[in-house]
Amino acid sequence: MFDDFFTLLEKSRRQAVLTGAGVSTLSGIPDFRSSGGLYSKEFGQMRVEDILDIDFFKDHPDVFYSWAKDNWYNIDDVKPNIIHETLKKAEDLGYLTEGIFTQNIDYLHERAGSRKVYPLHGTLQRGYCMNCHSYHEYDEISKIVHEDRVPTCKDCGGLIKPDIVFYGENLNMSILKRAENAFYNADLVLVLGSSLVVNPAASLPYISARKGRDIVIVNRDDTYLDSYARLRYRDLKSFFEAFSSYLSGKADS
C-alpha cells in the first residue's frame, strides 16, 4: 500500500517535513480545531483564541496561565509516539535532509531525538522574561504555574512569557526564512497531521508544489493542497507503522 511512497523516498535527494497537531494526537495531546480540540472548549466564558492573543496575555497573564496549567503545562508524562520516533530513525539513516518544520509547540520531536527541528510557532520547552529577556526552562515555569502563580523572573521580577507565537505576533523570521529555503530546495515534501489552514506555515508546501516537487500528504481531513499531492493518505498510524518497518529493514541491510 505504501510502496509508492518508498519509491519516491529513495529517488529523492532532499526531503522536507511539515508536521501539525495531528502528529501529537497519538501521544494524547488534543488538536486545536476538531470537535474535541482545544478551541472547542471555552474557558469560563472566554474563547481560547482570545486567551492566546498577545495583548490579552500582557493584560491578563493570570487568566492565560490558569488555562494553560491544565492544557499546556501538563505534558511532563507525554511521550513521543511512533511518528516522532520514525522521523528520528529516518534522520539517522540520512533522510529528512532539509529538516522537520513543526507547527507544534510540545517539543516531542526534540524529545524523540530529532536534531534538525524548527518550531514555526515556538516551543513550550522554555519561556523568557519580557523585561530582561532571560530564558527559563519548562520545568521551572510549570512548577510555578501548578502552584497557581504567574511565573515571574527571579532576576528582575518581569513577566515570563512562554516562547510561543501568540495571535498578534509574527513568526521567528530566521526560522521562516529557513523553512522557505527548505521547501524551495526539497524534491520530496511530507505534510503530516496538518490541515494546512494556518498561514504562513500552511503556504510552505505550496512553494514546493509550484516547482512541481513530489508532495505526500498524510492527514485525516482534506487540505487545500490535496490536488497537488503525488500521494495522499488519511491514517498516520498505519502509514508510520509501515514507514518504521521499512526503515528497520534499511538499517539491518
Q: Which residues are catalytic?
A: 121
Side-chain-facing half-sphere of 22: CA atoms under 13 Å: 22
Residues sharing a CB contact under 8 Å with residue 180, sequence separation 6 or more, in sequence order: 204, 207
DSSP 171-183: PPHHHHHHHHHHH
Burial of 134 (0-12, 13-18, 19+ CB in 10 A): middle
Query: How far is Cα 135 from Cα 126, in angstroms, rounded to an integer?
Result: 7
- Beta strands at 135-137 and 160-164: parallel, antiparallel or unpaired: unpaired
Buried b or exposed e, range 17-42, using 16+ CB within 10 angstroms? bbbbbbbbbbbebebbebeeebeeee
Give residue for cell 514555526.
120
